[in-house]
A = this chain, B = another copy of it.
Amino acid sequence: MKHSVCLLLGIYMMSASAESPIAIALHGGAGTIEREAMSAELEATYLGFLDHAITAGYEQLRRGESGLDVVVNVIQLMEDSPLFNAGHGAVYTWEGTHELDASIMHGAELEAGAVAGVSTVKSPIALARAVMERSPHVMLAGRGAEAFALEQSFEVMSPAYFATERRRKALEAFKANEQAGLQPEADHKFGTVGVVVMDATGNLVAGTSTGGMTGKRWGRIGDSPIIGAGTYADNRSCAVSATGHGEYFIRHTVARDICARIQFGGADLRAATEQVVKGELLDAGGEGGVIAVDKTGETVLIFNTSGMYRASINARGQKTVAIYGDE
């Protein structure tokens, strides 16, 4: 019973076969996610949520809503849920605060927006979109980004909104490990969330939102708000959102690298993502994964960890909802 719902694969009911092809994929983080450590209830909760989120996004796409709207709305579902390390439920910094990062990119004109280190904004992905659409800049950080949010009439949240007992305990464990001289990295789960879509007009859009890494210090910025690292979209190749040990994803410009292998090297989406996630990154020791969609509506969900919360519906209507690596 516990394992039987891990993989749902089937042909999604489509109301009209003549519709433009659409596709969507999402992740809720990759990392050390193992059956043995997961209760049946929690597993069912994750799978139910992933199924709900991917279905909601797909229905939006079917109604012809823009890729930008769908990426933001589905990421907001995950930001608002305590299950994921983004928005409510984000991990704690070393100082016991929350510093949230997000980015979004549209593949038609390569427009992009990103925020890093914001502490009072309920939906960092919505703020990233506002940076793209309503500022002359691509990336805003810290208190400056919050001043921009205020000017744009974003609601100011108190620190209590982001607080969860589960993440507070993770910080305590991180600090205890570090004080004991242990490698705290071993306990890292990368609960970043991300969505990629091909909408009915053929536009590719990618977005990513995260609380970063438990116990991060010194205003650390990971890959999620870095265009080219955690997020990239280009209608000529693909859209990618990444999750994992961000430092490696920055150094390998993972999202852009996958698109570049398609654009310049002639690789297909499967080969490009495998070369990066199971080749370059694995060789370097960079744990994590990506979701990606190409201009044909093909989707790939790939990771080099034991699991990744993930779901997709590709252009042929094939649906996947899964957690572990052997599914």
Contacts and interface: CB of A to CB of B under 8 A. Distances in A.
What's the dominant secondary structure at chain A's contact region? mixed
A220 B105 CA distance: 17
A110 B229 CA distance: 13
A268 to B, nearest CB: 13
Interface string A104-122: 0100011110001100000
Interface stretch (A70-78, A82-90, A143-151, A295-303): A143-151
A170 interface: no
Given A116-B221, A228-B229, 17 more contacts: A112-B250, A117-B141, A117-B142, A137-B217, A137-B220, A139-B220, A139-B226, A141-B219, A143-B219, A144-B218, A147-B217, A148-B217, A227-B229, A232-B253, A256-B260, A260-B260, A260-B261
A23 interface: no
Contacts of A1: none
A35 interface: no
A271 to B, nearest CB: 12
A45 interface: no
A221 to B, nearest CB: 4
A257 interface: yes
A247 interface: yes
B219 A144 contact: yes
Given A110-B251, A228-B228, A220 B144 contact: yes
